[in-house]
């Protein structure tokens, strides 16, 4: 069964559920990738900012739902979906629990960027087993919920940005997310994981590095 990443913020996840959780949407710039999505495939929902997996949606097919779910004209490429699992953010699956278990998080060095996998959606899972694992964890969380506090500021954060990528003379609009923050000691303690100390560097150098990584991940000239 093919699995696809569906990115949400805390706000768009709430809006999606308030609207009945039957329609998910994407930017028009993702039209090409969306042609590969088929009925029966599964969207796995990831909350940026708080780094939690919160839902699984079976794809029914293209939707003609034009309600202003996320504001006028937002996310016009829409799909009708049937919820498999829907979780509140505090009951979501922390990304940390996938360390060394999935292709995009094989070691702690992948933390924050996750090999670029969670920077845009839809994004196809490279390995079906990774999607199956997340779906199983979501089912378990639904049956036996574990409450983990969520920082309200991070839940309200808006880490999705619109950028223009130039291919030749053509400009293509893309929506991307900034790399996730590395877990702090406080977050690690709540998730029962250890955090390796980050190498020392000046803040200026760190910012230069992060900008270069972000641009490269978006396919932009650096």
Question: H or E element: which one contains 138?
Answer: helix 128-143
Give tens-digit pLDDT for 122-175.
999 999 999 999 999 999 999 999 999 988 888 776 545 455 566 666 666 555
Q: CB burial class (10 A; 0-12, 13-18, 19+) of residue 48? A: buried
Rounded to 10 degrees, what is the CA torsion of 123, 67, 65, 124? Answer: 0
pLDDT at site 14: 93
- Asked whether the beta carbons of 76 and 25 are under 8 A apart, the reply is yes
Distance CA 81, CA 63 (A): 9
Q: Where in the chain is the domain with CATH 3.10.590.10?
A: 3-143
Phi, psi angle pair for 138, to nearest 5°: -65, -40
Task: Round to the nearest angstrom and report the end-to-end CA distance of the chain.
Answer: 37
Give tens-digit pLDDT for 30-89.
999 999 999 999 999 999 989 999 999 999 999 999 999 987 668 999 999 999 999 999
Distance CA 200, CA 50 (A): 25
Tell me the CATH number for domain 3-143.
3.10.590.10
């Amino acid at each position: 069964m093919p699995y696809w990443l569906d990115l949400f913020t805390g706000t768009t996840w709430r809006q999606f559920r308030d609207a009945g959780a039957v329609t998910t949407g994407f930017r028009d710039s993702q039209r090409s990738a969306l042609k590969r999505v088929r009925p029966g495939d599964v969207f796995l929902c990831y909350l940026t900012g708080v780094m939690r997996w919160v839902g699984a949606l079976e794809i029914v097919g293209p939707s003609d739902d034009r309600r202003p779910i996320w504001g006028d004209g937002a996310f016009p490429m829409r799909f009708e979906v049937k919820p498999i699992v829907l979780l509140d953010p505090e009951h979501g699956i922390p990304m940390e629990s996938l360390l060394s278990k999935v292709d995009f998080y094989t070691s702690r060095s992948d933390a924050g960027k996750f090999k670029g996998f969670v920077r845009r959606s839809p994004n196809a899972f490279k390995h079906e087993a990774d999607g199956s694992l997340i779906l199983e964890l979501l089912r378990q969380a639904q049956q036996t919920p574990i409450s983990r506090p969520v920082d309200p500021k991070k839940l309200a954060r808006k880490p999705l940005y619109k950028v223009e990528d130039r291919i030749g003379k053509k400009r293509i609009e893309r929506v991307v997310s900034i790399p996730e923050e590395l877990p702090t000691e406080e977050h690690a303690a709540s998730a029962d994981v250890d955090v390796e100390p980050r190498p020392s560097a000046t803040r200026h150098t760190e910012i230069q590095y992060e900008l270069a990584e972000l641009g490269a991940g978006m396919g932009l000239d650096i």
